[in-house]
Amino acid sequence: MPDASPETVEQLPTPSELSEVKGWFFPVDQVLFDWFLTRQTDRDEPGDLLEVGAYMGKSAIFTGSYRREGETFTVCDLFDSPGEDDANAAEMQRSYSTLTQRTFEANYLSFHDELPVVLQGLSSMVPDHVKAGSCRFVHVDASHLYEHVHGDIQDARELLLPHGIVALDDFRAEHCPGVAAATWEAVTSGGLHAICITGTKFYGTWGDPTAVREELLAFLAGREDIWHEVQSVAGAPLIRTSGKKAVAPAQPRSRHTKKTPAVPAQPSAAAPVRPAAQAPKAAPAPRRRSPLRRLAVNVLPPFITKAARRLMK
């Protein structure tokens, strides 16, 4: 038995729903991940899944629900190992000092039977472990420094199949101009076609964007909870969305959940994920009147009852 006093026993998380997992993965992006990944399933588009920058697993848990039989889901994160350079180490210390791989794994296993392939280390190690031209979806959400993100985007290009989709996080956040620089550089001189943007993520492809853009526009036209418009950027249409009121799709189910959720957790081609059903509002409990109040209402003239009601409030 391990020699561990109560103070040294690590409390691993047991989230009962995805919202309890710390991280940054907002409903509008969940809707878009769901839409892109389900579309790939509907079209039988093959390929593996990759996430670079997993933190405590919020987006990885969600993405892992779309892994089909025979596919590999790989995640890469530094977790508690040091960054490559001083700037990356400072970024890690400032933003993610409580992160551990064990926490990620405990979170992930609360929702899935198996872990993804977990690579602990710098994102630059990914091409040594994931085959070129093998992925259908790559989520880049690791370092915010230009040099790293630029490399991550170049790797994504190599790893994705022609129908593959890349999602780039924090491409327009105030605190990380390096991500913006790397993202738009990939669009203006790296062959990346922008499809759409949310408040936090950019979605694009190095394949032909025409059909996917048109289908996404048709989908968004039917979503009253997500505002959108089309702008022309660098000579191509770009769908801009705003999803502050977006209704998240069905969430992966945790083994720690006590109640049965209304919607099945595992999305599939046969049963694509739809926005989670809103729980019906409970009917208000009937008001109970005291016996004295009931007697007063029944036997006294209305003007006296009114005065009595005011006194009994």
Query: Which residue is closest to ligand SAM by CB?
Result: 23
Residue 112 or 193 having the CB closest to ligand SAM: 112
Tell me, what DSSP letter sits at residue 60?
A: H
Among the listed residues 30, 107, 110, 123, the single contact to ligand SAM using CB under 6 A:
123
Q: How many CB atoms are located within 10 Å of the residue 187 CB?
A: 18
State the nearest-atom distance from the C-beta of 30 to ligand SAM, in Å: 10
Residue 9: which H helix or E strand, with range? none
Contact status: 88 vs ligand SAM (CB under 6 A): yes
The distance of closest approach from Cβ of residue 229 to ligand SAM in the complex, given in angstroms and rounded to an integer, is 26
Site map for ligand SAM, 54-73, x if CB under 6 A? Answer: xx--xx--------------
Residue in 19, 14, 64 with CA at minimum distance from that of residue 261 = 19
Give CA separation, 165 vs 192, 252, 302, in Å.
Answer: 10, 21, 71
What's the closest the beta carbon of residue 94 comes to ligand SAM, in angstroms? 11
Structure tokens at 106: 């405990």
How far the first Cα of the chain sits from its last, in Å, is: 63
68: closest CA among 273, 272, 268, 274? 268
Coil/strand/helix, residue 20: helix
Contact positions with ligand SAM (CB under 6 A) in 91-110? 92, 96, 99
Question: Of the listed pieces 52-60, 179-187, 199-207, 290-298, which binds ligand SAM according to CB under 6 A?
Answer: 52-60
Is 94 or 281 the residue whose CB approaches ligand SAM more closely? 94
Kindly state whether residue 119 participates in binding ligand SAM, applying the rule CB under 6 A: no
Among 31, 37, 47, 141, binds ligand SAM (CB under 6 A): 141
Site of tokens 């979170």: 107
Nearest to 257 by CA among 110, 112, 115: 110
Q: Using CB under 6 A as the criterion, which residues of the chain lie in contact with ligand SAM when the complex forms?
A: 23-25, 53-55, 58-59, 76-78, 83-84, 88, 92, 96, 99, 122-123, 141-143, 148
